């Protein structure tokens, strides 16, 4: 696979599929993720882009072991995480693989001061308590928070951006290998977003952390990522080097995404219609015209799903 192809990959997703079942008498299956392959390597940011319901968050949950895959493998440092069963194995995994989610207020218990998230790290993962105060202050300063003005506060006394920085500081304290950032800044205002994005890039490059940046925003994906995965109805349809995908989109769904981005210098034409059915039809025709081709490289580090059969 061409995204990203490297011998030093820290995590590999291989043929990942997740099917949800519902109903009692008439059991129905919903395929949320189907035959997904990609790799993550240290010091890179991988954007996973798609519309709501495309399966992006499901992939994040699978990597974090919040749900179990129907089939396929997630290989972390040579080990299939499905085999991590006992408390020690899971603790070691979560010590190095963490997630930060869309709503920071939902992450914090409003009854406790924000210091608690750091105390839990030390008690849960056995870090050296003797260095706690020094280390906590250090990671807070590294995410541009004043320890004296932050510690001791309740969640409602801090902004959404400050709470997200606290959660990022927690991952620094744990020195994680992989961060799943699921719609990390979608609830923040524009002026706060750029600061969080720049912080993520700095951390990624300076510490060698690998970040899966899950978003529906093409502009943010382009700004932050080294590699891009485009997801449509549970499948990766285009993947590769971010610059190459943005300059030369091939899959009909990818093209539709780019055409849907508003142009700040042009007013929206109200006569223009966007019908999801048109995209579905275009994708079907594209697959039918290229039946049997599957995934193919259109250029180095740029792969497209030409047919789903």
pLDDT digits (tens, 9 = 90+) for 83-129: 998 999 999 999 999 998 888 888 899 999 999 999 998 888 888 88
Give the span between the Cα atoms of 288 and 285, in whole angstroms: 5
CATH code linked to domain 11-305: 3.40.50.300
What's the order of all strands across the beta sheet hosting 11-22?
28-40, 11-22, 71-76, 79-80
The answer to whether 150 touches 118, Cβ cutoff 8 Å, is no
- Long-range CB pairs of 239-246 (<8 Å, 24+ gap) are 239/1, 239/2, 239/3, 239/38, 239/302, 239/303, 240/2, 240/3, 240/299, 240/301, 240/302, 240/303, 241/3, 241/301, 241/302, 242/47, 244/299, 244/301, 244/302, 245/302, 246/218, 246/222
Q: Is the pLDDT of residue 3 over 50?
A: no
- pTM of structure: 0.88
Residues 6+ apart with CB under 8 A from 121: 127, 170, 173, 174
Give the span between the Cα atoms of 112 and 110, in whole angstroms: 6
Residue 196's nearest CA partner among 102, 118, 283, 260 is: 102
Neighbours of 196 (CB within 10 A): 22
Segment 165-176 mean pLDDT: 89
Give the span between the Cα atoms of 168 and 200, in whole angstroms: 8
Largest CA distance in the chain: 66
Predicted pLDDT at 264: 65
Segment 25-33 mean pLDDT: 90
Predicted confidence band at 220 (pLDDT cuts at 50, 70, 90)?
A: confident
Segment 145-161 mean pLDDT: 92
Q: Are strands 235-241 and 227-232 parallel, antiparallel or unpaired?
A: antiparallel
Neighbours of 268 (CB within 10 A): 8
Predicted pLDDT at 74: 97
**For the chain, domain boundaries:** 11-305
- Tell me the HSE value of 22 on the side-chain side, using a 13 A CA sphere: 4
283-301 confidence digits (pLDDT tens): 999 999 999 999 999 999 9
Beta bridge partners of 18: 33
The b-or-e profile of 100-110 (16+ CB within 10 A means b, else e) is bbbebeebbee
* Angle, CA of 159, 160 and 164, to the nearest 5°: 120
The answer to whether 181 touches 165, Cβ cutoff 8 Å, is no
Predicted confidence band at 197 (pLDDT cuts at 50, 70, 90)?
A: confident
- Which of 74-88, 231-245, 263-277 is the least confident region? 263-277
Predicted pLDDT at 126: 81
Please give the mean pLDDT across all residues of the chain.
88
Highest mean pLDDT among 31-35, 139-143, 172-176: 31-35
Helix (H, G, I), strand (E, B) or coil at 37: strand
Give the span between the Cα atoms of 23 and 25, in whole angstroms: 6
Give the span between the Cα atoms of 66 and 62, in whole angstroms: 6
The answer to whether 127 touches 119, Cβ cutoff 8 Å, is no
Predicted pLDDT at 6: 42
* Segment (H or E) for 148: helix 147-150
Predicted pLDDT at 265: 67
Helix (H, G, I), strand (E, B) or coil at 189: coil
């Amino acid at each position: 696979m061409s995204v990203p192809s490297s011998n030093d990959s820290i995590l590999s997703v291989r043929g990942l599929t997740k099917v949800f079942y519902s109903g009692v008498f008439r059991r129905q299956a919903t395929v949320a993720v189907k035959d997904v392959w990609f790799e993550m390597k240290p010091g890179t940011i991988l954007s996973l882009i798609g519309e709501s319901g495309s399966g992006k968050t499901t992939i994040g949950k699978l990597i974090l072991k919040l749900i179990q895959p129907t089939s396929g493998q997630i290989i972390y440092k040579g080990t299939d995480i499905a085999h991590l069963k006992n408390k020690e194995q899971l603790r070691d995994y979560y010590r190095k693989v963490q997630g930060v989610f869309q709503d920071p207020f939902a992450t914090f218990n409003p009854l406790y001061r924000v210091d608690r998230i750091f105390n839990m790290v030390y008690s849960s993962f056995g870090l050296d308590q003797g260095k706690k105060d020094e280390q906590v202050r250090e990671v807070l300063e590294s995410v541009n928070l004043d320890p004296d003005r932050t510690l001791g506060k309740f969640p409602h006394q801090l902004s959404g951006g400050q709470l997200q920085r606290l959660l990022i500081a927690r991952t620094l304290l744990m020195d994680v290998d992989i961060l799943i950032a699921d719609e990390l800044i979608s609830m923040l205002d524009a002026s706060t977003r750029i600061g969080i994005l720049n912080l993520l890039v700095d951390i990624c490059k300076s510490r060698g952390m690998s970040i899966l940046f899950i978003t529906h925003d093409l502009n943010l994906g382009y700004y932050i990522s080294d590699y891009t995965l485009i997801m449509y109805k549970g499948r990766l349809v285009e993947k590769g080097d971010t610059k190459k995908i943005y300059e030369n989109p091939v899959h009909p769904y990818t093209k539709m995404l780019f055409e849907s981005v508003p142009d700040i210098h042009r007013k929206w034409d109200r006569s223009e219609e966007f019908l999801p059915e048109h995209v579905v039809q275009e994708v079907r025709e594209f697959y039918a015209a290229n039946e049997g081709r599957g995934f193919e490289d259109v250029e180095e580090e740029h792969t497209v799903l030409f047919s789903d059969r």
